[in-house]
Structure 1
């Protein structure tokens, strides 16, 4: 299935993964850029629930020093065009 045929939430999820895939992001930056109050667009929560991203603790700096990175499953999803793979 081509990206254009993906549901809007899956397209946004792929955009989020591509953004994280460019470089590990600070937790606060990921939360600020991708949080939403819309229950139909739970990109951040979906990525965590499907184990496509993970939060790497930052040590003494707590969540302010934490980083968000792709998991192997997240990288795999980006490598497969049009993939709607879900962790299961």
Structure 2
């Protein structure tokens, strides 16, 4: 990721940080058929979000320390 994050990434991270999110909700809300805007994949690859849980098939998504730092919350 470049030194200054793109607006879409900041919006995505703020959306994730706003309240607990299920993986399914994230994928539904942020799906993209355009290969130039894979914000979900980029955030995972850059270590800005992580998935946890898995009990009863429910995975949660949260910001990592790095993701919180990018938003100035860490």
The verdict on a shared fold, with TM-score over 0.5 as the criterion, is yes
Unaligned runs of at least 5 residues, structure 1: 1-5, 81-88
**TM-score, normalised to structure 1's length?**
0.73
Unaligned runs of at least 5 residues, structure 2: none
Counting only pairs closer than 5 Å after superposition, residues 1-88 of structure 1 correspond to structure 2 as 10-59=6-55, 61-62=56-57, 65-79=58-72
**TM-score, normalised to structure 2's length?**
0.86
Q: Which has the higher helix share?
A: 1
Count of paired positions: 70
Q: Which has the higher strand share?
A: 2
Runs of 4+ in 1 over 6 A off after TM superposition: none
Bigger-Rg structure (1/2): 1
Q: Output the CA distance in 2 between the equivalents of 1:25 and 1:58.
A: 13
